[in-house]
Each structure stands twice: as C-alpha cells, then as structure tokens.
Amino acid sequence: MKSFDEYIELANQAHGHICAGQILGLRLAIHGCRLLGIDDPAGADRKRLVTFVEIDRCATDAITVVTGCRMGKRALKFRDYGKVAATFCDLSTDRSVRVVAKESSKQKARELFPHIADKNQQQMKAYREMPEADLFDHHWVKVALHPHDLPGFKGPRVSCARCGEGINFQREVLHAGETLCRACAGDSYYQVL
C-alpha cells in the first residue's frame, strides 16, 4: 500500500479537491484491504478485489483510488443505499468484508478538535487521526458474485426484440417469450420524448 500522503495526493487529483469525505473513504478502503490481507490492491493484487460501494459521494472516489476498482473494469459495483459503506470481496480467498462509517464519528471529531470552527477542516483532521475502531464497524459477509458479474467475463451479446439494442453480460430478460432489454421490459429509468 502507498503512504497516506500519497493516497491524499491521488485522491486530490481524481476528485478535484480534498475533503473530509475523501479522508474517510481512504481510511475505509485501507481498513477493508487490511482486513482481507490485501497489501497492494491497485497493483500486484489488482485482480483479487471487487468492491461494492453504497453511496455516490466523495468517499466513493477515494475508495476507488485505494482499491483500483473501477466501473470500467467491472470491479466496482454501485448499490444506491445512501450509506458511507463498502464491501470488499477477495476473489482469491472468497472472503468479503463490509465496512461502514460509524454515525458517531462526526461527534467524535467535534470532541477531538472543538477549537477548529470549520467543520470540513475539523473532520479532515479527526478522520486522519482517529483509530479505525472509532471510525468504522465491519462485518464479514457472503456476497453472491456470479461469473457474469466478474471482471473478464465473456458471454454472448444478444439484441433486444423490441428496441434492437445490443445487451451484454446476460442483462437481458425473458418477458412473455421475448428476449428484452431491461428498459423495454419495464425497468427503465428514462422515458423517450
């Protein structure tokens, strides 16, 4: 693993600024990797890890910096739970750990550095220094990872019987005898104007 200062620099570049959420995300990901015994997640161990993130905020960008897990590599999965939490799955040992930021961490930051008025500054300093046990809870979990969800999966590409668009990774659904994309099957996030 890199030094914390190196991670901060990388996170700054990736995210555009350094903030309390980034510090928390870096710590959270380092904690998760350590629990799994993964020393070089973004380097030598880069094929071992799949990460599920549960929020689309600052912390998530920092988690990708430490883990090297990216959407485009299929190693980063997003579940929109609105929680500062992530699950780290070690493909080589089939072990997974979910790490969640404690609700009490903000209050702890206030108690530690009451003289720092700026909340972001206060939390940045506190999240850097607080012991992991004060920042996070974790539990070992079982994650159902299917071969078609994993990096490197190669499978047939099919076309939707309605819109004709190509569908990868077995995301098609069988609907009244037709092979459809999720949008045409009714699970669409957009409406065509």
- Positions touching Zn ion (CB under 5 A) are 19, 21, 58, 160, 162-163, 181, 184
- Nearest distance in Å: CB 43, Zn ion: 25
- Nearest distance in Å: CB 4, Zn ion: 17
Backbone angles phi, psi at 106, to 5 degrees: -65, -45
Q: Which is nearer to Zn ion, 36 or 160 (CB)?
A: 160
Q: Which is nearer to Zn ion, 23 or 85 (CB)?
A: 23
- Nearest distance in Å: CB 57, Zn ion: 7
Q: In whole angstroms, what is the distance from residue 151 CA to residue 147 CA?
A: 9
- Nearest distance in Å: CB 85, Zn ion: 17
Q: In whole angstroms, what is the distance from residue 67 CA to residue 26 CA?
A: 9
Q: Which is nearer to Zn ion, 21 or 32 (CB)?
A: 21
Q: In whole angstroms, what is the distance from residue 95 CA to residue 71 CA?
A: 21
Beta-carbon contacts of 17 under 8 Å, excluding residues fewer than 6 positions away, are none
Q: In whole angstroms, what is the distance from residue 1 CA to residue 18 CA?
A: 20
- Nearest distance in Å: CB 177, Zn ion: 15
Q: Which is nearer to Zn ion, 36 or 58 (CB)?
A: 58
A 10 A CB-CB count for 95 gives 16
b/e sequence 127-164, b meaning 16+ C-beta within 10 Å = beebeeeebbebeeeebeeeeeeebeeeeeeeebeeee
Q: Are 110 and 187 in contact (CB under 8 A)?
A: no
Q: Which is nearer to Zn ion, 14 or 163 (CB)?
A: 163
